[in-house]
Amino acid sequence: MSFLGQDEQIREYQFRFRYLYIGLFVAFFVLFARLWYLQIMNGDKYHTYSEENRIKGVKVTSPRGMIFDRNKHLLVDNRPAFDLEVTPQELYSDKEWKKTIHTIAQIIKMPEEEILDTLERSKGQPTFRPIKIKQDLEQDEVAKIEAHKLDLPGLNIQMEIRRTNLFGDLAAHLMGYIGEVNQTELPKLNRLVGATGVPYKMGDVTGKFGLESRMENVLRGIDGEEYMEVDALGHRKRTNKGITSGLKPKDPTPGKNLILTIDQDLQMAAQRSLEKLYGKKQIGAVIALNPKTGEILAALSQPSFDPTLFSRGVSPKLWGELLNNEYHPLRDKTLQDHYSPGSTFKTITAIAALEEKVIDENTTINCTGSFRLGNRVYHCWNKHGHGVVNIHKAIRESCDVFFYRMGQRLGIDTIAKYANMLGLGRKTGVNLAHEEMGLIPTEEWKKKRFGQEWIAGETLSCAIGQSYILTTPLQLANAYAAIGNGGLLWRPYIVKYIEDNDGRILKEFQPDLIGQAKISKQTIDIVRSGLTAVVNEPGGTTFSRRIPGIDVAGKTGSTQVIRLSADKIHTKCESMPFNVRDNGLFAAFAPPDDPVIAVAVIAEHSCHGGSGAAPVALEVIQTYLQKYMPEKYSDEAIKTRLKIASGKPIRVKAKPEPDEDEDAVRDTEIPDVVAKPAPPAAPGDTD
């Protein structure tokens, strides 16, 4: 019975085995079909994939376009930089580690502890990935490392491209700087991809500020690619032969070059002159324009920074120093900071008074040194007064009382009309980021801003460029350019043309007329005569700083940076602490009859416009005229002209005389200025 039962069980399980056989057959069929699909149907495709897994593409960084001045002098270039790297997987023992670290510490003059800290911070990454020990090796360091390379496994010198400003911090705000793309920037940049059409990836660089940012689509090139063979773990094979020998690398495409409107000789003249004024502690801005086109001929903001240090990552220490510097070296003072224009604004008041027929060239007033309006006394910078004054003398000697009277007769809205006509109180439209608007107040503006009515005394302060009025140096230079050229307001621009690497011009930028001030020729002639007298006639506020033979028309000014009590309004500026001294300003154009250059200078804490800002502007003007109009303004031509005019020889260089603008008129009741970052506080005036 038991054997019979066993046979029945076997017969029962044999019937079930058929299902197992069927399952095995189906499985083998599916496996065979899959192998047939992979090997026969898609064999070529997967063979290609397998080969590609053995090949690693390596990015070849494209050089950015270079930047030149108007005369094709190179300003910003791409220079090779050499970094020291260590590959941990190639150091097989502690003995090799210690030997390598000890040797490179001596070569690159870096403490061994610092090298070990760098390696420790990179512990989590794959051992085949190189660790950067030091950037920007010196040439002798590179030579010594290469000499020891056979004895020191794991060391490698990696060449990178470093964006280099050839003149250090000169015009850093204008050129700008580059930096590596971060995670938050990536989506925005890829939405805005322009000329190249190539998306950005982590590790790419982009312009962060200045022209590097504004012209990113022009300066950016297209990266290339080369290939290397790797093993299953992604490690590079040490043979130069293999499947990569048949692959053609993709060459990088360099970016386009920018040729700017600026003249580097003018930039250097501005910097030299600021150094004469301050030494190394330069604080101010210089902007020069061509009144016939709007071309920016010079743009300098100090203190500054070296953009080259930013191109490959700035250290936290340096970044902190720049951020915490009280004079804001990261801000472009030519267009990001706005200032009270002080007496440079009196030219606008004079134009308004002449055009509105409030005065003519023969109108006179008597300046006794002060002017009373209601219960308030408004002082002239010359506490002894200027005596009988007409418009010519008022501009020449910067008589505050004369312009108080003009402001009283005109009203703030009329003054604002002519200021706006000359481009003040609004952006110039220059193709640079973060331009400030400045401020030209009106009665309506004050009502909206403060909910208060305009006060007559505020007009008097505004008439001499104080109170609420704010301008940038760029706006001020553009306004004086328009006065010099008869009323034409051009949009300032900085790029002259774009060219490829073969020197072919791809795009040329043209002057853009954005407005025309309705000012009569008679008014322009009267004002131009007064501005010329400021520099060239005895009594002029910058006569002692003139350069004989260099024809200039300009206006000095100065403004307070703190509010002073009534008993300190005539305190000598030079006796005050440096950071609370008045700012000096000067705005000018030259030659007066047919200007080819207009300049505005702000020299912070220099006390006076005549002795502080004016010499900087005059040196820039002299450099330009002697370079581009040598037939009239070379040293020999000037000597000849002056000799003929005087009938006897005369020195070309004038010996500086004592300042004629010693005393300051300081307003103790100036309202708080409504301003954006870093303008001076309550402004005052002295020339």
Which DSSP category does 614 fall into? H
Beta strands per DSSP E along 265-311: 284-289, 296-302
Judge whether 313 and 180 are in contact, CB under 8 Å. yes
User: Burial of 530 by CB count in 10 Å (0-12 exposed, 13-18 middle, 19+ buried)?
Assistant: buried
CA distance 681 to 670: 10
CB burial string 308-336: b at 16+ within 10 A, e below? bbbbbebeeeeeeebeeeebbbbbbbbbb
Q: Report residue 41 as tokens.
A: 């149907």
Q: In degrees, to the nearest 5, what angle opens at C-alpha 599 toward C-alphas 596 and 602? A: 180
Q: Report residue 311 as tokens.
A: 């191109």
Query: Which residue type does 476 have?
Result: L
pLDDT of residue 327: 86
| pTM for this predicted structure | 0.81
Beta bridge partners, 80, equal 161
CATH 3.40.710.10 for domain 264-306+331-646: yes
Torsion of Cα atoms, 495 then 499 then 503 then 508, to 10°: -60
Q: Report residue 533 as tokens.
A: 């007298």
Which DSSP category does 182 fall into? P
Which DSSP category does 260 fall into? E
Query: Which residue type does 404 have?
Result: Y
Judge whether 199 and 191 are in contact, CB under 8 Å. no
Query: Which residue type does 109 have?
Result: K
CA distances, 620 to each of 4, 331, 613 (Å): 121, 22, 11
Residue-by-residue DSSP string for 45-112: HHHHHHHHHTEEEEEEPPPPPPEE-TT--EEEEEEEEEEEEE-GGG--SHHHHHHHHHHHHHHHT--H
Q: Report residue 270 as tokens.
A: 């501005």
Tell me how crowded residue 646 is: count the other CB atoms within 10 A of its CB.
10
Residue-by-residue DSSP string for 396-423: HHT-HHHHHHHHHHH-HHHHHHHHHHTT
Residue 646: partners with Cβ closer than 8 Å, 6 or more residues away:
none
Question: Helices 473-485 and 346-355, interaxial angle, to 10°?
Answer: 40
CA distance 16 to 352: 111
Q: What distance lies between CA 69 and its chain's CA centroid?
A: 15
Residue 276: φ, ψ to 5°: -65, -35
* pLDDT under 70: residue ranges of the chain: 1-18, 42-58, 89-94, 96, 124-128, 150, 152-153, 194-196, 227-247, 279-281, 562-571, 646-687
**Helix boundaries (H) for 451-520:** 456-463, 473-485
Tell me how crowded residue 582 is: count the other CB atoms within 10 A of its CB.
30
Tell me which residue of 64, 177, 70, 66 sits closest to 509, measured CA to CA: 70
Tell me which residue of 419, 417, 409 sits closest to 459, measured CA to CA: 409
641-644, long-range: CB within 8 Å, 24+ apart, which pairs?
641/549, 642/548, 642/549
- Which helix (H) or strand (E) segment holds residue 8: the answer is helix 2-36
Q: What distance lies between CA 369 and its chain's CA centroid?
A: 42
Q: Report residue 337 as tokens.
A: 């900071």
Residue 40: partners with Cβ closer than 8 Å, 6 or more residues away:
none
CATH superfamily of 60-260: Penicillin-binding protein 2a (Domain 2) (3.90.1310.10)
The C-alpha R_g of the chain, in whole angstroms, comes to: 36
User: Burial of 283 by CB count in 10 Å (0-12 exposed, 13-18 middle, 19+ buried)?
Assistant: buried
CA distance 534 to 555: 6
Q: What distance lies between CA 356 and its chain's CA centroid?
A: 40
pLDDT, the chain, mean:
83
Domain locations in the chain as residue ranges: 2-53, 60-260, 264-306+331-646
Beta bridge partners, 57, equal 227
CA distance 686 to 421: 26
Query: Which residue type does 464 have?
Result: I
